[in-house]
């Protein structure tokens, strides 16, 4: 079974949306939820989800439609299934019909049947050698997962990886920016405290700084906290 009519246009739209979104702040959960909606449109599957890995342990992050979450949850609880294997091995696990392999994932038998899932595919989500999880595809009919479908799914899995990696990078940059701002704010306080002590005591700012630092060390406190107390609370070390 090949891609549905119009899939190329849908894939281009998804790539364009990604290019527009990735340069702006976004919640990774929202981005992944939107992506699995797009996966259904592009690939013509009945449902899709994204599972995220922490080492070899996998947890599902999002799935649509809602009943597909039962299949994702069954794999998460058993830590067994096509999507778990895709994450752990780093290779796609393609199952045209779960009925063909009833003993491979015993814990997965009941949940798919309850929502009418027949075919499952796990596509690894990774960046180079870093395993991030799996893009999970579900269909309510037998599906042979031909090369064209798998290639398109791999591109979409790459987008999932990029969303996750970019969000992590943005978080790190934001944390770094906050640390830098904190350092700048601390510097201002310290300069103010030095000026106060130097002016009141008729000493140099270097001597005032040494007094601040010595007091901080004696009391096991940060230099910034002592400077803040000098400026705002009237502390005189």
- Tracing tokens 């790190």 back to the chain, one arrives at 172
**pLDDT (tens digit, 9 = 90+) per residue, 179-207?**
556 656 777 888 899 899 999 999 998 89
The sign of the CA dihedral 224, 229, 230, 231 is: positive
pLDDT at 173 over 60: no
d(CA 69, CA 97) in angstroms, rounded, equals 19
| Tally of CB atoms within 10 A around 49 | 27
74 against 21, higher pLDDT: 74
**pLDDT (tens digit, 9 = 90+) per residue, 83-117?**
999 999 999 999 999 988 888 988 777 777 778 89
Q: Are 48 and 68 in contact (CB under 8 A)?
A: yes
């Amino acid at each position: 079974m090949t891609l549905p009519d119009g899939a190329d246009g849908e894939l281009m739209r998804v790539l364009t949306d990604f290019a527009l979104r990735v340069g702006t702040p976004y919640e990774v959960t929202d981005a992944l939820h939107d992506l699995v909606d797009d996966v259904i449109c592009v690939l013509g599957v009945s449902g899709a989800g994204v599972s995220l890995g922490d080492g070899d342990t996998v947890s599902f992050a999002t799935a649509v439609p809602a009943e597909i979450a039962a299949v994702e949850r069954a794999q998460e609880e058993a830590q067994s299934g096509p999507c778990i294997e895709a994450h752990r091995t780093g290779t796609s696990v393609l199952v045209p019909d779960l009925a063909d392999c009833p003993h491979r994932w015993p814990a997965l038998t009941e949940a798919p049947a309850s929502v009418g899932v027949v075919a499952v595919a796990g596509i690894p989500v990774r960046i180079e050698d870093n395993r991030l999880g799996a893009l999970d595809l579900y269909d309510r009919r037998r599906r042979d997962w031909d090369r064209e479908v798998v290639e398109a799914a791999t591109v979409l899995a790459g987008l999932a990886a990029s969303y996750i990696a970019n969000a992590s990078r943005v978080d790190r940059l934001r944390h770094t920016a906050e640390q830098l701002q904190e350092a700048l704010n601390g510097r201002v306080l310290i300069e103010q405290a030095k000026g106060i002590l130097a002016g009141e005591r008729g000493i140099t700012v270097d001597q005032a700084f040494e007094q601040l630092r010595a007091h901080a060390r004696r009391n096991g406190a940060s230099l910034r906290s002592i400077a803040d107390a000098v400026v705002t609370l009237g502390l005189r070390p």
